[in-house]
Amino acid sequence: MLYAPPNDVMNRYAISGLCILLVGCSTPTKKEAATEPEKKAPASPVGAPELFSVKLETSKGPIVIEVHRDWAPRGADRFYELVKDGYYNDARFFRVIPNFVAQFGLAATPAMTKKWAKSIDDDPVAHTNGVGTVTFATAGRNSRDTQVFINLRSNQSLDSQGFAPFGRVSEGMPVVQKLYSKYGDSPDQEALTRRGNSYLKTSFPSLDFIKSATIL
């Protein structure tokens, strides 16, 4: 089961027992810095552009996510594939915690969730989890698959835990802030995985949802 850390754990998060060993580090000369090759994301195996936008038509209004492959190539490619396949259409924002995250990514039908229940390898964290950034949830090393969350505040402490943003909300952040949040962590992800929206419509009828997700 994928997740972003609970808010109370986030607030108590502290680094302990962490030793950082710097060996052979030196400041490059101006000449070395000038000739150092620019690092670029590897070519996309699924044809995702280096920069693209995804429009979420939601029950609260439109949200546009600007995706940067150079931030997290594997995450960007997976998000591109999921949107192209219609995975997020009719999916609920099933976990919205004020001043923390708005999470979605379990499909409307169990069949679609099962189809994409395959993980991808981690990306290095190249961009901080600032307000409005979009990041895959994870349950540990190399476990990302379909669930993503939008940061509702600056969650920089997630950076050191391996949560690699792949994009940001470029339009519609006020819409994100208005998503229904009174259920908090109550929806059961295992029940949602097994039953899809039939479970949420009965037990959590007020959840906001994505009408459609399209590549712009």
90 has pLDDT over 90: yes
Higher pLDDT among residues 8 and 157, named by residue: 157
Q: For residue 9, give both structure tokens.
A: 């754990």
Assigned domain for 116 exists: yes
The range of the structural domain enclosing residue 194 comes to: 49-215
What's the pTM value of the predicted model, to 2 decimals?
Answer: 0.82
Q: What is the mean pLDDT of residues 92-99?
A: 97
In the chain, the number of structural domains is 1
Mean pLDDT, the chain, integer? 86
Q: Does 37 fall in a domain?
A: no
Taking a C-beta distance cutoff of 8 angstroms, is the pair 3, 137 a contact?
yes
Confidence of residue 44 (pLDDT cuts 50, 70, 90): confident
36 belongs to a structural domain? no
CATH number of domain containing 119:
2.40.100.10
Phi, psi of 60 (to 5 degrees): -105, -10
Residues 118-174: pLDDT tens digits?
A: 999 999 999 999 999 999 999 999 999 999 999 999 999 999 999 999 999 999 999
In a domain, 70, yes or no: yes
User: Is residue 24 situated within a structural domain?
Assistant: no
Q: Is residue 13 part of a domain?
A: no
CB within 8 Å of 112: residues ≥ 6 apart? 87
Give me the amino acid identity at 67. Answer: V
The answer to the question of residue 82 being in a domain is yes
Does 81 score more than 70 pLDDT?
A: yes
Is residue 14 domain-resident? no
pLDDT of 47 reads 86
